[in-house]
Amino acid sequence: MTSEKKIPKLEFTEERITSLVEKLVDDDTLIVTDLYGFPALSHLGRTALVRDCYAESVEEIKRGNEYSKVLAVGGCTALDVGRACAVGKEVVTIPTILSTSCISVDRSIIKYPEGSRLEKTIAPTRTIVSIPSISETHIADLEKWSQSGFGDLFANISASIDLQYKAGNSSYEAVRENVPECFEALEWVINQFNGYDEDCLRRLATYSHNSSLIVIEREDTKLSAAGEHKLYHKMIDQQKQYREDRPTHGQLVALGTLLAGRIYAEQTGEQKLYEQLVTAYAKLGLPLSYAELHDIGIEREHIVDGLESIAESNTHLGDHFAQRDYSLLDRVFGGGENETV
């Protein structure tokens, strides 16, 4: 049996997640879900509760259950663990929030005592998005997680800048050509975004799903994660007070992408990309100033500490700060207004 390179299918349903799971579950299925999903799903079949993505927790779930199919229901961690428990088997993912662009990837973040690793696990056969269930999320949470999803999605742009920087061709067209759909998402936000309504959720799910497919097709994450994700990992390691929801994954990653966009503008003289990011961030409510960063728990020194530790990371973002000159931060976040280049 080859489990490699199966392309997951994205489906939308008007059913709520509980009745969807009820239909999909059978004696051979293990439901893998988090604290939010557990109360409603645990009586429907054999269910494993996910509290973290430690390798040990994954092993515990695998040892304690017999199954050939996994239904992974929840946020990113539940989906990560669900895919990790399904290696050599089959998995269907049902995201309850759209907080990261990893809903359909064939990888999982797994934690070890020495740190987190992104590991190859297995792609879902189907990713099913229940618009009614996601829409029912409390509006503040819906906005926070969906904003995070867009923030994570735009990391494709920073990653593409990184790739072209290393290839020695940083034209706007070349950067765009690697990740055209991400630029479409950016332009959709700029021109059409009007709040986190149903149309927005469908688009975000579709963009995130398709961004996952790039990872499966390329067999690497070079177009979805570069310096901005390295910065994210350093910052959450260094700032122990950060919680999963404040600042969100997408807010932190978006910060690095904005810096990468600014560096790109200053290096190439091409301002359009940076201006597009600023306009899209303003519409989505992603932070653009020190004051807005402060509101979500991020201070300038956190960013400086993070950047300092990625200076040798051999990335477009890290290289810029190799001289320990952080004045670019003030040109991006300083004074409240975003100055032009």
Applying CB under 5 A, the residues found at the interface with Zn ion are 152
To Zn ion, the closest distance from the beta carbon of 12 in angstroms equals 23
- Nearest approach in angstroms of CB 56 to Zn ion is 23
Residue 156 and residue 182 in contact, taking contact as beta carbons nearer than 8 Å: yes
Tokens 């509006």 belong to residue:
139
Chain-centroid distance of CA 340 in Å reads: 28
The nearer residue to Zn ion, 129 or 215, going by C-beta atoms, is 215
The DSSP element (H or E) to which 43 belongs, if any, is none
| DSSP symbols for 133-182 | HHHTS-HHHHHHHHHHHHHHHTHHHHHHHHHHHHHT---HHHHHHHSHHH
Decide whether 47 or 148 has the Cβ nearer to Zn ion.
148
Helix/strand/coil for 334: coil
Who's near 110: CB < 8 A, 6+ residues apart? 53, 54, 55, 58, 80, 84, 116, 117, 118, 119
**CB-closest chain residue to Zn ion:** 152
Smallest distance from Zn ion to CB 253, Å: 5
Whole-number minimum distance, CB 298 to Zn ion, in Å?
16
d(CA 8, CA 229): 24
- Name the residue with tokens 């940076």: 274
Minimal distance, residue 229 CB to Zn ion, in Å: 6
Nearer to Zn ion among residue 45 and residue 75 (C-beta): 75
Min separation Cβ 28 and Zn ion, Å: 32
Number of C-beta neighbours around residue 63 at 10 A: 7
Nearer to Zn ion, 45 or 306 (CB): 306
- Write the CA distances from 198 to 101, 204, 337, integer angstroms: 18, 10, 32
Considering beta carbons, is residue 152 or 319 the nearer one to Zn ion? 152
> Residue 153 Cβ, how far from Zn ion at the closest point, in Å?
9
- Closer to Zn ion by CB, 29 or 315: give it: 315
Q: Nearer Cβ to Zn ion, position 80 or 152?
A: 152
Q: How far apart are the first and last CA of the chain?
A: 54
